[in-house]
Amino acid sequence: MEDLRKIKERIETLRKEITLHNYYYYALDRPVISDEEYDALFRELQELERAYPQFITPDSPTQKVGHPPLEEFKPFEHVVPMLSLENAMTEEELLNFDKRVRKGLEGTPLRDILDSSGMYVVEPKIDGVAVEIVYEKGILIAGGTRGDGRIGEDITPNIKTVRGLPLRLMPFGNVPDPPPVVSVRGEVYMEKGDFLKLNEEQRGRGAPPFANPRNAAAGSLRQLDSSITAQRPLRIFCYGIGKIEGLSVTTHWEVLNLLRSWGLPVNPLSRPCKTVQDVLSIVDDLRDRRHELPYEIDGAVVKVNNLEAQRYLGETTRSPRWAIAYKFSAYTAQTRIKNIRVQVGRTGVLTPVAELEPVSIGGVVVRNATLHNYDEILRKNILVGDHVIVRRAGDVIPEVVEVLKEKRTGEERVFTMPSHCPVCGSEVIQNPGETAHRCSNPRCSARVKASIIHFSSRDAMDIEGMGEKTVEMLVDRGLVNSIPDIYTLSKEKLVGLPGFGDLSAENLINAIERSKRTTLDRLIFALGIPYVGRYTARLIAERFPSIKSLMSARREDLMSIPGVGEKVAGSVVDYFSDPNHREMVNRLLESAIEIKTPGEEETKELEKSSIFSGKVVVFTGTLSSMTRSEAEELVERMGGKVSKSVSRNTDIVVVGENPGSKYQKALSLGISVMRESEFLNHIPFRK
């Protein structure tokens, strides 16, 4: 019995410590222990809980995942409605808001309080999903989306997986305890970097990418299976409490500090302001910094600080009178479409592209914007010569959002899709049920060029020097008409061609030779099968021993691979049922392409050519594709040394999810940092 009590005590200590370190890490962005130390605490807790399941409680930090999938979302009622905020689009509208607030409080004693104690609080407006989380006796018991403000959706299992959101409130320092029931409000969001990585994975799986981090956060939060949500890097900033009664606080600023001291993440850029002039300068500062922030903000929220004043001002049916959202203009600009041209991709799909009068959006000059497909042009009613709004969000290709019809002069022209390929002149076809127009000629030079560029790219066969210009030139001169032709090139054929001297010709031939030793996943990806991205190629390669066996695979064989769905399976089967494709693969195999599962000798070879060779490598954060020790083993196999801590001697820091202090240190020492996706690019083989 004695022992059990000690174990229970240890479990409770561990939980407290882990919650505390989560707080330092997520809420304060200031970890005080290393990743290893944190991992060790977490593992110890997991092991103790596994051995003594009677001590598992729902608020344990290990319980962030583990709810069976839901059939549907139940309604979630907000005791105090979550009203939406009124928007201010201009400085003038913000000044008017200030005037209304002052007028509303005219003649009350509250007016003096405002002038003495700081009138407003400004918070960055996070571009995410508004949620409410209910804690009972400090334990997270429910979470819901905003919905229509009164009824949202109950997403409790999902909300528990949000990084940095404590399952148990833990007051730090000398602060009031949370009341028996408290509902906390916040914005769930995804960091920009995490969003790009997620989209890369989506594309790899053949799944549609998300349009922006907010959509990604919303989509992730609305998964019926919380284990999917758990894989998505969601975070939260808390900004308020639904029902404030029972708490001895007088200002909103105190509320924010209280939330923080209960262990909830609160945005560190929130500020109290004495006057509306201070508000304007903080808003300007946020606008200047928005591009540097790791998450997207689309404005600032201004709230009256004094809670009694808030109550006095009250609300309209739709929104409170004591707060306003000041919106930054989005990453959009106005310009004109000079022309619409059509690009032909490697699968023959014709993509209309708008050539724009150059315009600067968020500091980048944009000259082209995608129009996606012909249906989009019709839907948006776009004419050549139109004035349009163009949006550039993050690293996504700029797109035309809408037409400014009032600016039309009558000079605009209707665009029609060409009936014949602009590159090879073959007929353009549209498959039934598809929006895409395609060039019908499999040997179209635009398709050939695009597929060779893809085949040679770094993630595929990695033929250095086989870039866009070289491919264009080789295809235009008839030296290469299909992918396997690459392997018929020789130094003699190259020397003397534009851009090729003795040395550059030799370099390209060497790169082509090197590419013959490859791995199955790279070859599968290189073929450019629709919907088969890098990750999907890897999943497939792990199941099939050779490209020959893949060529005769059935739909069912492919669909039995976790992560491969109907679309991918169908696409692979279709691809290999085309005799042209089979012939191409056979020719590739004949040109002495060797598919390797690396043995000892190859490993030595790889050691020499690996970028990790002789380098000191440090890992931080969680890797999603393999365990830390697998990754370390790989680096060692490739001739690198693994170190546990970052110092001036470190050459490369590989950063997984939720990196710790080592990441910061690497940045401050100027050490080269590699994301997991890049790291995977440098690994030529996997177990």
- Residues with catalytic roles: 125
Closer CB to Zn ion, residue 423 or residue 666? 423
What does each C-alpha distance from 162 to 16, 124, 141, 157, 228 come to in angstroms? 18, 20, 14, 10, 12
How far is it, in rounded angstroms, from Cα 278 to Cα 274? 6
- What DSSP assignment string belongs to 476-534? HTTS-SSGGGGGG--HHHHTTSTT--HHHHHHHHHHHHHHTEE-HHHHHHHTT-TT--H
**Distance of closest approach, residue 530 Cβ to Zn ion, in angstroms:** 17
How far is it, in rounded angstroms, from Cα 594 to Cα 677? 25
Closer CB to Zn ion, residue 34 or residue 426? 426
**Distance of closest approach, residue 204 Cβ to Zn ion, in angstroms:** 28
**Distance of closest approach, residue 124 Cβ to Zn ion, in angstroms:** 49
**Distance of closest approach, residue 426 Cβ to Zn ion, in angstroms:** 5
How far is it, in rounded angstroms, from Cα 357 to Cα 333? 11
Closer CB to Zn ion, residue 440 or residue 591? 440
Are the beta carbons of 74 and 154 closer than 8 angstroms?
A: yes
Coil, helix or strand for 244?
coil
Closer CB to Zn ion, residue 155 or residue 423? 423
How far is it, in rounded angstroms, from Cα 685 to Cα 687? 7
How far is it, in rounded angstroms, from Cα 25 to Cα 191? 15
Sheet with 139-145, strands from edge to edge, namely: 74-77, 151-154, 139-145, 129-136, 181-190, 234-241
What's 27's DSSP letter? I
How far is it, in rounded angstroms, from Cα 133 to Cα 141? 8
Which candidate, 360, 353, 359, places its Cα nearest to that of 339? 353
**Distance of closest approach, residue 445 Cβ to Zn ion, in angstroms:** 7
Take residue 352 and report the two structure tokens written for it: 């209309």
Write the CB contacts of 67 (distance below 8 Å, at least 6 apart in sequence): 156, 157, 160, 226
Closer CB to Zn ion, residue 472 or residue 607? 472
**Distance of closest approach, residue 587 Cβ to Zn ion, in angstroms:** 22
Closer CB to Zn ion, residue 351 or residue 681? 351
**Distance of closest approach, residue 480 Cβ to Zn ion, in angstroms:** 17
Where are the extended beta strands (E) located within 547-632? Answer: 594-595, 616-620
Write the CB contacts of 671 (distance below 8 Å, at least 6 apart in sequence): 646, 650, 651, 652, 653
**Distance of closest approach, residue 374 Cβ to Zn ion, in angstroms:** 16
Q: List interacting residues with Zn ion (CB under 5 A).
A: 421, 423-424, 426, 439, 441, 444
